[in-house]
Structure 1
Amino acid sequence: MTLQQLTYLVTVAECGNITEAAEQLFISQPSLSNAIHNLEKEMGVTAFVRSNKGVVVTREGEELLSYARMLLEQADIMKEHFGNEEKRVPKFSVSCQHYSFAVNAFVDVINQYNVEKYSFILRETQTGEIIDDVAQGKSELGILYLSEHNEDVLLKLLKKNELIFEELFVANPHVFISKEHPLAKKESLTIEDLRPYPYLVFEQGERNSFYFSEEFLSVLDFPKNIQVRDRATLFNLAIGLNGFTVSSGVLDQKLNGENIIARPLEMNCKMRIGMVRRKNMLLSRYAKAYIEAIKSLGTEFSGFFS
């Protein structure tokens, strides 16, 4: 097994086609097919099912790909740390719940490494996909929260996928509403205050249970519920329908405008917001910078945290 073979494997999976992957890698199609075949033989797996339309990754191929991505990522980090001054294109990917501070931190990292070329990925996605992305090596880090309601289930899932959770800060739950909302003048809000209004939540797909919910109140029953897929839609509905959602309270008006405000929720619970990463893996300088950026935002918004 070589790093070159692993690169070939990942490229074929991403292209979904041997011919296209060979063109991208600047090698002949027979050479690429032979390299993949030798890797499959050495590992004792069938990574792809071939057809006239291309290739499809098998279940054992997905597992092999997750290790391949991890090894290639670690090799890049080692080269960056121990190698010469050869210029390398910065690469970093993070999967996160729909937090504005996660976007703020991403912006800070890009500004810090303001170079001519870089390849960064920010995935605002469902909770289950965050765990999958990190486990499969698609993202170096994941950002999500734990509470007394979901941590038993999520920590077991993380352990099963050989992932760990590291707490970054603890937040008091806050309600996000429009600045024109009938409740906007109140300094803090209760559950009963919120019942007449639409509760806006992020849809979680097949894993749509409260354990995977991004919203802190999903264990409670509200008469009006609207599921959305992105933060912009949620904010638009908060403005148009006097809807609300519940999150950490960390909201930067520079990126999100002044139409959405946060009000403390009168509830004796905490949100442990942290990062998910693979065990015993070196973090890239960009991942470390991202973590520090989030911690800095934690200091800046210290009034929201315990």
Structure 2
Amino acid sequence: MTITQLKYVLAVAEHQNFTKAAENTFVTQPTLSMQIQKLEDELDILIFDRSKKPIELTDIGKKIVSQARNIVNEADRMQDVVDQQKGFIGGEFKLGIIPTIMPTLLPMFLRTFTKRYPKVQLKIEELTTDEIISKISENHLDAAIAATPLYQEKIRERALYYEPFVGYIPKSHRLAEKKEIETADLDIEDILLLEDGHCFRDGVVNLCKSPKLHADQSFQLESGSFETLIKLSNEGLGMTLLPYLHTLEISEKQKDNLRYFAKPHPSREVSLIYSTSELKLQIINALYDTISGVVRGAIAFQDVEIISPTKKNRK
């Protein structure tokens, strides 16, 4: 039994196809198939049911894959142990970022980080919170930036900053004359929302604790971008809520429509998250120091109230 054989097994389990698994492990399909067959012969079991399309794991195969994942992860971390001991900050690092954070935060810290730590090869993916949790648990990500708390026992959260919600209210709206707004002013039926799957949307819904229902509501719309929500709001179709960093990039004319909440400012906690068993702590610490240092100058709010993007029953 070899580490290479176990990696081939994990690849087939992930892609459910020998050809795709071979392509992703950079070997020929016959080589991959032969090595998996040798492992099955050695263990005297079948890991995969090849009669199914797509290929499926057998019952014993599921247990083998679970154990193989642990073995391969520990083997891969051997270099991490050495790097940590030497204080070396470099190597490949896979980072996930949720969509409502990526466009504003990434340009703020990426250039600084890459100049300061040129030996780190960042591989960055835009992922939903659920995708991030899954990939961290399966060791496909080293860390991620997401709204917290997530209530995940095996994920560590280090708060980077607290980002207030800001109202975007057109002049025709019922709240336009208010200098400050309060959570009691909000009506969920009157707020343009991001589409389902965005944790910022969940935070907004949680913020509106007592939704008021209107029988005469003429439409319901959800969008995947803040830009669309702003445009629709400008057309008089409702108000919306934006994360504070996003408001720094809108036009001066649009900023006239911004309304801040009264203290304590309802905010989302944005954290650097990673597995409790993660060993690339030297890179995690470097990311944390860089991001928190950059953002500290952009967000001056102190008196905040954290609105969780998730519900505790999601544990």
TM-score (norm 2): 0.65
Whether contact under 8 Å (1:250, 1:304) holds in the other structure is no
Alpha-carbon distance change, 120 to 35 in structure 1, aligned in 2, over 3 angstroms: same
User: The residue matched to 1:292 in structure 2 has which SS?
Assistant: helix
1:213 is the counterpart of 2:202:
yes
Alpha-carbon distance change, 302 to 35 in structure 1, aligned in 2, over 3 angstroms: same
Unaligned runs of 5+ in 2: 304-315
User: The residue matched to 1:213 in structure 2 has which SS?
Assistant: helix
Alpha-carbon distance change, 122 to 20 in structure 1, aligned in 2, over 3 angstroms: closer
Moved more, 59-68 or 13-22: 59-68
- The aligned residue for residue 301 of structure 1 is 298
Alpha-carbon distance change, 198 to 111 in structure 1, aligned in 2, over 3 angstroms: same
Partners in 2 of 1:33 and 1:131 — Cα distance?
Answer: 31
Pick from 146, 151, 157: which aligns with 1:165?
157
Pick from 228, 232, 239: which aligns with 2:223?
228
- The aligned residue for residue 313 of structure 2 is none
Cα drift, residue 271 of structure 1 = 3.7
- The aligned residue for residue 266 of structure 1 is 262
1:130 is the counterpart of 2:118:
no
Q: CA RMSD in A?
A: 4.5
Partners in 2 of 1:72 and 1:176 — Cα distance?
Answer: 49
Alpha-carbon distance change, 140 to 279 in structure 1, aligned in 2, over 3 angstroms: same
1:198 is the counterpart of 2:201:
no
Whether contact under 8 Å (2:161, 2:270) holds in the other structure is yes
Cα drift, residue 116 of structure 1 = 11
Partners in 1 of 2:120 and 2:267 — Cα distance?
Answer: 40
User: The residue matched to 1:303 in structure 2 has which SS?
Assistant: coil
Whether contact under 8 Å (2:170, 2:239) holds in the other structure is no
Partners in 2 of 1:124 and 1:115 — Cα distance?
Answer: 25
State the Cα deviation string for residues 129-168 of structure 1 (Å, max 9, x = none): 332222122322233334xxxx5xx42xx11xx2222222
Cα drift, residue 279 of structure 1 = 0.8
Partners in 2 of 1:142 and 1:13 — Cα distance?
Answer: 24
State the Cα deviation string for residues 46-94 of structure 1 (Å, max 9, x = none): 76543475534676577457646744663454566679x9xx8744221
1:96 is the counterpart of 2:89:
no
**Number of matched pairs:** 285
Partners in 2 of 1:7 and 1:298 — Cα distance?
Answer: 39
Q: Which amino acid in 1 is paired with 2:262?
A: E
User: The residue matched to 1:139 in structure 2 has which SS?
Assistant: coil
Alpha-carbon distance change, 22 to 129 in structure 1, aligned in 2, over 3 angstroms: closer
Whether contact under 8 Å (2:194, 2:226) holds in the other structure is no
What are the residue-to-residue correspondences of 1:73-88 with 2, within 5 Å? 74-75=77-78, 77-78=80-81
Partners in 1 of 2:44 and 2:105 — Cα distance?
Answer: 40
Partners in 2 of 1:38 and 1:260 — Cα distance?
Answer: 65
User: The residue matched to 2:239 in structure 1 has which SS?
Assistant: coil
Q: Which amino acid in 2 is paired with 1:300?
A: G
1:32 is the counterpart of 2:39:
no
Partners in 1 of 2:124 and 2:246 — Cα distance?
Answer: 21
State the Cα deviation string for residues 249-290 of structure 1 (Å, max 9, x = none): 233645x66676554222645543323211131126554443
What are the residue-to-residue correspondences of 1:18-29 with 2, within 5 Å? 18-29=18-29
Whether contact under 8 Å (2:13, 2:65) holds in the other structure is no
Moved more, 290-299 or 219-228: 219-228
Whether contact under 8 Å (2:22, 2:32) holds in the other structure is yes
Pick from 157, 165, 174: which aligns with 1:174?
165
Cα drift, residue 200 of structure 1 = 1.3
1:143 is the counterpart of 2:138:
no
Cα drift, residue 217 of structure 1 = 1.3
Alpha-carbon distance change, 272 to 114 in structure 1, aligned in 2, over 3 angstroms: closer
Partners in 1 of 2:15 and 2:106 — Cα distance?
Answer: 28
Pick from 257, 273, 276: which aligns with 2:273?
276
Unaligned runs of 5+ in 1: none
- The aligned residue for residue 245 of structure 2 is 250
- The aligned residue for residue 123 of structure 2 is 120
